[in-house]
Amino acid sequence: MPSFKVIEQAILKREHLFTSTQTNAFRLFNSAGDNCEGLIIDYYNGFVLLQLYDSSLYQDYSKICNDCKQILSSSHIPVNGILLKDRTKVNDPQQIAKLRTSILVDGEMPPENFAIKQNNIIAYVDLIQGQNTGVFLDMRKVRETMVKYYHNGGRLCNLFCYTGLFSVHALKNGLQYAVNVDISQTVLNRAKQNYVLNDIQYDSRDFIKLDCRQYLKKQIKQKVHFDFVIFDPPTFSRNKKQNFSVKTHYRDYLALIEHITKDGYALTTINAVSMSVRDYRSLHPQHWKLEFLEHEPEDFPYKSQPYLKAGLWKIP
């Protein structure tokens, strides 16, 4: 169990983040990077989400909750509620939904249609159901670095789009058009809600429910061109027709992306501590030029090496 001092040091290191007018969601405690393996604490616009990856921490969650509340209060940071989510390993797939449902441990539940702000865009988040909230807090620095590339406008293809935030951010910062592609209708519906939340008009052609590989092949056949492609895939995913894994399919996707992004940019990411920066770079064609490489932001300290590799590549 982390001591009060360990939690306090972690939160105080991040205290300056709360002065931001553009973002109100951050990581407060990042597992081994803050000296307690298995404990994640995130702050979402007045609500705290504790995530426990180690079952031995359960006997101490009440103290962790109280410590967190006291430290944030002394820094005059509002806490309306604290929720707890079980992230320990699940062997029975039938139990995942139940075990990943957060429980309230202090204060009140987030309101319906609860939203946060990241990089000056607004996004709905779900702190209760499922493994992911709808916003990846570790993408803050990546989005910030992308802004200057959007100023000249253009068209964006957002593959594995999840809740569409790369598209929302790009459209609010200069791009004229974005298409969102994902195999899940559920996440596409959430992406549409984020468009509405940010006063962005759309029609059905902006959201495509399709396997991303099939979509790319279709665009190549139709000679469609994009100025930007976002390729932020899961490390592994499975649908009824096809699987995706970084190890097996990453290079194949990059070859397809090149066909539709000549003289454009591709933002590619890998979320795996097991893959080094050298390995990440080696996946890309030698003639692609790396514009920048970002890792997780300062509120995600790490012990060994960063897990996030997010590079913007110029495709000649």
Q: Return the beta strands (E) in 147-231 as ranges.
A: 155-159, 177-182, 207-209, 228-231
List of domains in the chain:
4-124 (3.30.750.80), 137-315 (3.40.50.150)
pTM for the whole structure: 0.94
Tell me which residue of 231, 251, 256, 259 sits closest to 156, measured CA to CA: 231
Do 98 and 90 contact (CB within 8 A), yes or no? no
| CB contact set of 28 (below 8 Å; sequence gap of 6+) | 10, 11, 14, 41, 42, 43, 48, 68, 299
* C-alpha distances in Å from residue 9, one per residue of 3, 37, 67: 10, 16, 12
Q: How far apart are CA 288 and CA 258, in angstroms?
A: 9
- Per the CB < 8 A criterion, the answer to whether 117 and 274 are in contact is no
Q: Are strands 155-159 and 228-231 parallel, antiparallel or unpaired?
A: parallel
The angle that helices 246-260 and 212-221 make with each other, rounded to 10 degrees, is: 30
Contact 178, 146 (CB under 8 A): no
Alpha helices in 27-173 (DSSP H): 61-74, 96-99, 140-150, 165-171
- Would you write out the chain's pLDDT as a tens digit for each of its 316 residues? 899 999 999 999 999 999 999 999 999 999 999 999 999 999 999 999 999 999 999 999 999 999 999 999 999 999 999 999 999 988 777 777 778 999 999 999 999 999 999 999 999 999 999 889 999 999 999 999 999 999 999 999 999 999 999 999 999 999 999 999 999 999 999 999 999 999 999 999 999 999 999 999 999 999 999 999 999 998 655 555 556 677 788 999 999 999 999 999 999 999 999 999 999 999 999 999 999 999 999 999 999 899 999 999 999 9
The tokens of 106 are what? 């202090």
| C-alpha distance from residue 154 to each of 150, 171, 181 (Å) | 7, 9, 17
Q: How far apart are CA 127 and CA 253, in angstroms?
A: 32
Query: Which SS3 state, helix, strand or coil, does residue 116 take?
Result: strand
3 state SS of 218: helix
